[in-house]
Structure 1
Amino acid sequence: MAICDHNVVNTFVDARHPGANHDSFVWNVSVAEQELKFDYNNGKTNTWLLGDSGYPLQPYLMTPFRSAADGIQRNYNTKHSKARNVIERCFGVLKNRFRCIIGSRGLHYSPEKVTQIVNVCCAIHNVCIFLQHQIPLEIPDMENLVSYEEELENSNISNTAALIRMRIAESLL
């Protein structure tokens, strides 16, 4: 799991869990979730992360609408997808810069060593951005790869988070 800003700088990385773990599990045990929950419970209610449909909707983590019912929700999903494209670009840049982390190649090390390799790649990636090092190759536009049709059921959607997401969707009109 990774969080990045609008400049594709990694602000949080958790590579401890192999790909077989669901996004919501990784999120629920992450330090990022704990910090955002703490901030939210202490009055900081104007900060949101964008997550794909594998993540739980929370007051500080906005996800797309499942089966968007109207134009407002479809508009929200479109803008959500475009904004979330930044993390997809970030992953593309990382894989382009550090070919060893491309999934098909696989890292043949212990899970602990792979975690260290991924974390170091992310740190060096941030240094490259800070030093304005050019990305070696053209990065494909990942926008069309986001699909909300493969959304998973999420039984613990809070009413507060759903209300926040709807207000955001309505404000985008």
Structure 2
Amino acid sequence: RKSWNILCVVNFDMMFTYVNVGWEGSTHDLPVLKDSLTQRKYDFPHPEPGKYYLVDSAYPNSIGFLAPYIAPTVRKHIPEFKSGRRCGNFPEGMEELFNYRHASLRGVIERTFGVLKATWKIV
């Protein structure tokens, strides 16, 4: 069974606004993004000045792309706030609050793919 790495941009209405398909599943996410950004043929929708795509920690912060705050003691995913040593605790400090809100907003991509997978079993 073959897997694919797919780069998608999804808006808050759960609509796909960009999709780049065709990369082997073993390809890291960053080369796929870099290719999308540099190849004119892909017509990547760059964010407007002052706007950002929320990206996960596989991507660096850069113009138009906002990743979570990374530090060994700072939680960055919603499940980390619901389990573990600090179970049920609210975010501690500005960095965790930022990450909590960042992850909450990025949850739309998870919901979108959940709907897609429920509709199309092959996904």
Q: Same fold (TM over 0.5)?
A: yes
Quote the offset at 1:16 in angstroms. 1.5
In the alignment, which residue of structure 1 is the partner of 2:21?
A: 15
Does the 8 A contact of 2:18 with 2:45 survive in 1? no
In the alignment, which residue of structure 1 is the partner of 2:62?
A: 58
Higher relative contact order (CA 8 A, sep 6+): 1
Q: Name the CA distance, whole Å, in 2 between partners of 1:23 and 1:33.
A: 18
Does the 8 A contact of 1:3 with 1:13 survive in 2? yes
Q: Name the CA distance, whole Å, in 2 between partners of 1:91 and 1:34.
A: 20
Q: Does 1:46 align with 2:50?
A: yes
Quote the offset at 1:35 in angstroms. 4.7
Does the 8 A contact of 2:53 with 2:64 survive in 1? yes
Q: 1:33 to 1:62 in 2, by over 3 A?
A: farther
Q: Name the CA distance, whole Å, in 2 between partners of 1:76 and 1:64.
A: 8
SS of the aligned residue for 1:3 comes to strand
Does the 8 A contact of 1:14 with 1:30 survive in 2? yes
Q: Does 1:25 align with 2:47?
A: no
Higher-strand-fraction structure: 2
How many residue pairs are counted as aligned between the two chains? 95
Q: Percent identity between the aligned chains? A: 27
Quote the offset at 1:7 in angstroms. 1.2
In the alignment, which residue of structure 2 is the partner of 1:77?
A: 99
Q: Unaligned 5+ residue runs, structure 2?
A: 1-6, 76-91
Q: Name the CA distance, whole Å, in 1 between partners of 2:13 and 2:44.
A: 24
Quote the offset at 1:56 in angstroms. 2.0
Give the TM-score taking structure 2 as reference length. 0.69
Does the 8 A contact of 1:27 with 1:33 survive in 2? no
Give the TM-score taking structure 1 as reference length. 0.50
Calculate the aligned-residue CA RMSD, in Å: 2.2
Q: Name the CA distance, whole Å, in 2 between partners of 1:52 and 1:10.
A: 17
Q: Name the CA distance, whole Å, in 2 between partners of 1:79 and 1:33.
A: 29
Q: Please list the CA deviations of residues 66-92 of structure 1 after superposition, one character each: whole Å capped at 9, or x if unmatched.
A: 113971111000000000000011111
Quote the offset at 1:5 in angstroms. 0.8
SS of the aligned residue for 1:86 comes to helix
Q: Please list the CA deviations of residues 72-125 of structure 1 after superposition, one character each: whole Å capped at 9, or x if unmatched.
A: 111000000000000011111111110011xxxxxxxxxxxxxxxxxxxxxxxx
